Structure 1
Amino acid sequence: MTKNVRVRFAPSPTGPLHIGGVRTALFNYLFAKKHKGSFILRIEDTDQNRYVQGAEQYIIDALNWCHMPFDEGPNKNEKFGPYRQSERKHLYKQYADELIASGNAYYAFDTAETLDFHRKDHEAKGKTFIYNWHNRLKLSNSLSLSAEEVKAKLNAGDDYVIRFKSPQDETLHLKDIIRGDIKIDTNILDDKVLFKSDGMPTYHLANIVDDHLMEISHVIRGEEWLPSLALHYQLYKAFGWETPEFAHLPLILKPTGKGKLSKRDGDKLGFPVFPLEWTDPKTGDVSRGYKEDGYFPEAMVNFLAFLGWNPGTEQEIFSLNELIEAFDLKKVNKSGARFDPDKTKWFNHHYMQEQNNDVLAELFKPIVNEKLNVIQSESEESHNEISRQARNDNDIDVNYIALVIGLIKERATFVSDFWALSHFFFTAPTSYDEKASKKAFRNGTKELMGELKNIILRIDEFTVIALQKDIKSWITSKEIGFGKVMMPLRLALVGALQGPDVFDIMFMIGKAETVKRIEKVIDLL
């Protein structure tokens, strides 16, 4: 690729960033970095009526969380700035005037009532009203009015819009990197509004002007913009500018595969559709985010990359650098990509195993403290030495938590799963699984547990190896099945027949706590 690659992600700050927008940003980012180019953030806030306070910062925070920082954008390396369209509105009028001067656009003075009348009239006749070559000479615009009439209306301050003059009886030959060659009959195109009398451009004009002035080489955007491609091509031609290359990404579909993924789907099926948690500034309603739900950014980026793109290999796990190396727009599919919530969890489970246990311990520590504080508040006396030590948030040993995580994390998908998998490392069980108890506690169990306690008390070097050696030797000498000892022992330590290796648990909680839990079971028996 010889041209200098410059791509832009251009969201509107009208609310939280949908993961479809994050996927668009990701593909732009990957393409830019693959070709040693620039990834630009432009905030398209021309529609001030829909502007939402905090949305712009949310977009920036989401990109940063996904490890996709922009190279140019608001308050950063603004060599083509400003990067908010509301701060560029002084630029657009001159380009709208230029189109009028070249005959590619015209003033239209039609009132909303007039246009509504024509729409309803066409509907009554089973037709669709399109403002274009077919009827524009019958309407109130600078093509049907005299120059004097147009001037008088402008001087009088009449409301107007500037419309693009779509050609008649032509066939446009358009190119899209993903979808190939596209043919469009200009007779079906309407004369889109480019500029309004309130001094603000529509998306179409501002988008083209900004892409040109910012020297955008490739426009990579969602499929929903495909119907605008014909107009945008024509605008580049009308200005005499070089057209960037276009690539329209497939839709992200509902888990059923039918229809575009929406927030309602996430609410219904229990998964977020936004990267970060969002609080609506008007209503106070909170929408879930992938970050707050416990997803790692690496997992989110990995699964989003596969929504519409396929490397052509069996590999599914990609680091960001590997994605950059492998990414190719020609390997992006045309058809929609079905969103699979279970697959997102699969990715997160993988990245959980890759995480450093010390890092996970810092994330899990507040949960441990909270749980232990609740236990403390529910009991006048502490349950055991570990929970006593943990009563003060600063007392709990994060290194101990890291060791616990190393024993249980392979069964976890989220940090929030850790407590259910590890609570017995921090506090003694207060109840025992009823079904497991009937299976493990039999005639003679009480006596066996008493003997086991004495064996444990005699072990000087309380290590996993020593515990395995001495306890297994004792069971063998008794000529009994291992289950007769190991099942009630696990129940005593955990409260259920689950968890990591029993000897690991004993070593972690220590001799005194192990004996104490066995004594509690003996008393119950």
Structure 2
Amino acid sequence: MTDTRFAPSPTGDLHIGGVRTALYCWLQAKKTHGNFRLRIEDTDQQRSTQASTQVILDGLAWLGLHHDGEVIYQSQRFTHYQQIIAKMIEQGLAYHCWCSAEELEAMREAQKARGEKPRYNGKYRNGGTPVEGVNPVVRFKNPLSGVVTFEDKVRGTITISNNELDDFIIQRSDGSPTYNFCVVIDDAEQGIDLVIRGDDHINNTPKQINLYQALGYEIPEFAHVPMILGDDGKRLSKRHGATNVLDYRNEGYLPQAILNYLVRLGWSHGDQEIFSLEEMIDYFSIKDVHSAAATFNTEKLRWLNQHYLKESSPEILIEPLMQQFRMLDIQIKHEKAKQALIHYQERAKTLKEMAENMRWIAQAPQHYPEKAVKKAFKGAESSQILDDMANEFAQMTEFEADSIHKIIEQYVEANNLGFGKVGQPLRLAITGGAPSPDLHISLALLEKNEVIKRLNNAIAYIESMK
């Protein structure tokens, strides 16, 4: 049984790279029947916001990555952290440092000039005189010799010499604890067995291991996953498109497509591309994650999303589709949308695209594409056909797909016309050229009076072209 945790900072959007980390943590916990914990690391009180916290909670809930137990907020644990820090000072594991920012900067510049790695020189490590008017920070007494070695489940053996580390700050001058301190306390007290996080944290791991050892805590295992790159080889960012996970929801992607795509960004199971959630849990292992950076490919994600749109039942798709209509300010009845949905599942790659393609059902054409007009509206001939069809439809008592299909076939046969001669102007008149299902089905998606109204509008348009 392996307990994992996802511990984002609420200082911005929930990045898609963070979601992949959360997924890996969730899968590893579920695979071993362990717990997946959620912790909000909001010690940076100036940058942390409730809005960002809500994005994290909403994003994970939308994806179905539900956490076990209560959410831990670091900002609610400051008193606890400060008590531990005070005890560390008593035990000689940490100490106050009164160095000013200017003094630290001068120290770094002097070290650079000597060709040394910039680091705190331990001025107050063995005591010193407090500086009046200065609120001191608290630093951890990092070991001066030896090495830190750990087996990273993604990157293998990693060794760092302690002489490359300095006595890092564990409490700021305002009394707030720092990331490297809080994360050790929380992971130890939550019983986290495996820390899965981005490889930008590798440099923090030796510091944290030294803290674990100093405090007598059991050291967890670590797995540092590589970053995600855009298709230009640079770190994925907003310039590559959406990065906030809720942006993908708003763009009409399904959560199962997002999860399926992300699990394959750095991990594989043979040549398999499509995975159910159960298969992900069954097959996934953090040790099989590749150490090389993965490249985000939007077209691949769209392909996956289209697959899940095809495979999903209308009952699953209708509510997120209705949300798309609301965001696009398209007024369409729930039942009408559900009736049309089944005819668009094969056509669209996102729910947003699906909703856009279905706009014609709710909104009559305001204009007709020039190329389509040249092909479908052939002057008086097309005008007469549309007028005839409007009269035929007006006499129908049941305006449904099969009956409409028969009426059109009978008209085509009676007038010795090719189906395209009738179908093209009809379709353009009612849809404005939007993607649509078979003609008789498209017509049946509208009320009879609405169809007649649109045909008359098209006739008026054709007449105006003379």
**Distance between the aligned counterparts of 1:370 and 1:275, measured in 2?**
17
Where does structure 1 lack aligned partners over 5 or more consecutive residues? 76-80, 277-288, 374-392
Task: Indicate the residue corresponding to 2:105 in structure 1.
Answer: 116
Deviates more, 1:209-218 or 1:467-476: 467-476
Report the residue type matching 1:292 in the other structure.
N
CA RMSD, aligned part only?
3.6
Q: 1:338 to 1:116 in 2, by over 3 A?
A: same
2:352 pairs with 1:398: no
SS of aligned partner of 2:30? helix
Deviations 1:329-355 (A, max 9, x none): 012111112223333333333333344
Tell me by how many angstroms 1:431 deviates. 3.3
Task: Indicate the residue corresponding to 1:382 in structure 2.
Answer: none
Task: Indicate the residue corresponding to 2:163 in structure 1.
Answer: 187
Task: Indicate the residue corresponding to 2:243 in structure 1.
Answer: 273
Tell me by how many angstroms 1:36 deviates. 0.7
TM-score (norm 2): 0.84
Tell me by how many angstroms 1:176 deviates. 0.6
Tell me by how many angstroms 1:517 deviates. 4.0
Pairing 1:163-242 to 2, within 5 Å after superposition: 163-168=140-145, 170-196=146-172, 199-242=175-218
The counterpart of 1:341, out of the listed 277, 288, 298, is: 298
**Distance between the aligned counterparts of 2:437 and 2:27, measured in 1?**
41
The counterpart of 1:86, out of the listed 57, 78, 85, is: 78
- Contact kept? 2:42, 2:48, Cα under 8 Å: yes
Report the residue type matching 1:408 in the other structure.
Y
Pairing 1:93-492 to 2, within 5 Å after superposition: 93-94=85-86, 96-97=88-89, 100=92, 108-131=97-120, 136=122, 139-142=123-126, 150=128, 153=130, 159-168=136-145, 170-196=146-172, 199-258=175-234, 260-262=235-237, 266=238, 268-269=239-240, 271-276=241-246, 289-316=247-274, 318-358=275-315, 360-362=317-319, 397-442=333-378, 444-449=381-386, 452=389, 462-469=399-406, 471-472=408-409, 474-476=411-413, 478-492=415-429
**Distance between the aligned counterparts of 1:17 and 1:244, measured in 2?**
25
SS of aligned partner of 1:41? strand
**Distance between the aligned counterparts of 2:184 and 2:323, measured in 1?**
49
Report the residue type matching 1:274 in the other structure.
N
Deviations 1:230-264 (A, max 9, x none): 22223333344332111111112233122x323xx
Tell me by how many angstroms 1:181 deviates. 1.3
Give the percent of matched residue pairs that are identical in Structure 1 and Structure 2.
Answer: 34
- Contact kept? 2:3, 2:37, Cα under 8 Å: yes
Q: Number of residues paired by the alignment?
A: 461
- Contact kept? 2:139, 2:167, Cα under 8 Å: no
- Contact kept? 1:464, 1:503, Cα under 8 Å: yes
Q: 1:188 to 1:510 in 2, by over 3 A?
A: closer
**Distance between the aligned counterparts of 1:453 and 1:166, measured in 2?**
88
**Distance between the aligned counterparts of 1:158 and 1:469, measured in 2?**
87
**Distance between the aligned counterparts of 1:114 and 1:494, measured in 2?**
72
**Distance between the aligned counterparts of 2:256 and 2:157, measured in 1?**
35
Report the residue type matching 1:8 in the other structure.
R
SS of aligned partner of 1:11? coil
SS of aligned partner of 1:509? coil
SS of aligned partner of 2:342? helix
Report the residue type matching 2:437 in the other structure.
P
Deviations 1:49-105 (A, max 9, x none): 443344434433332222122212348xxxxx98844252244225523762xxx65
